[in-house]
Amino acid sequence: MARPTKDRIIEKLPEIRFFKPAGVPNQQLETVEMTMEEVEALRLKEIEALTQAEAAELMNVSRPTFQRVLSSARQKAAEALTCGKAIKFKGGDYRLVKPKHCHQCGKRMRRHKANKKRKNTKQNSCPNCTD
């Protein structure tokens, strides 16, 4: 039996949930469905320009899991763009979380997975400031 999928952390949902080629009626289009975590993976990697490790940490997944989600998103986007298909953002295993920002510098803070061995139990740390 497969292990249940844990929710991926998503900071921002897309404002528009459907894209289609111009000039083609909806009835004639095939649609590619992209999950919300795939959209978030593309946003973090391509728009925010984070490393896979940084993006995986923000989404609360392992780096290999992030790679699989990102590869799936890229494949679906490429298929839609090269084959003239519509893209629909729908579903997935995710939880919407607002990003926390540092009070000192205003930059987004990284989330850390809980670690029982860590003496300092802070859940967030700013990449730009030191305590």
With respect to residue 126, please indicate whether it lies within any of the assigned structural domains.
Answer: no
With respect to residue 128, please indicate whether it lies within any of the assigned structural domains.
Answer: no
Specify the 3-state DSSP secondary structure of 19. strand
Q: Domain total for the chain? A: 1
With respect to residue 129, please indicate whether it lies within any of the assigned structural domains.
Answer: no
With respect to residue 130, please indicate whether it lies within any of the assigned structural domains.
Answer: no
What value does the mean pLDDT take over residues 76-105? 86
Percent of the chain at pLDDT exceeding 90:
56
With respect to residue 120, please indicate whether it lies within any of the assigned structural domains.
Answer: no
With respect to residue 3, please indicate whether it lies within any of the assigned structural domains.
Answer: no
Place 104 in a pLDDT band, splitting at 50, 70 and 90: low
With respect to residue 22, please indicate whether it lies within any of the assigned structural domains.
Answer: yes
Which of the residue ranges 30-39, 64-73, 101-110 would you say has the lowest mean pLDDT? 101-110
Which residue segment(s) compose the domain that 13 sits in? 8-115
DSSP 20-48: --TT--GGG--EEEE-HHHHHHHIIIIIS
User: For the purposes of burial, counting CB atoms within 10 Å of the CB of 89, is it exposed (0-12), middle (13-18) or buried (19 or more)?
Assistant: middle
Contact 128, 102 (CB under 8 A): yes
Q: Mean of the per-residue pLDDT values for the chain?
A: 83
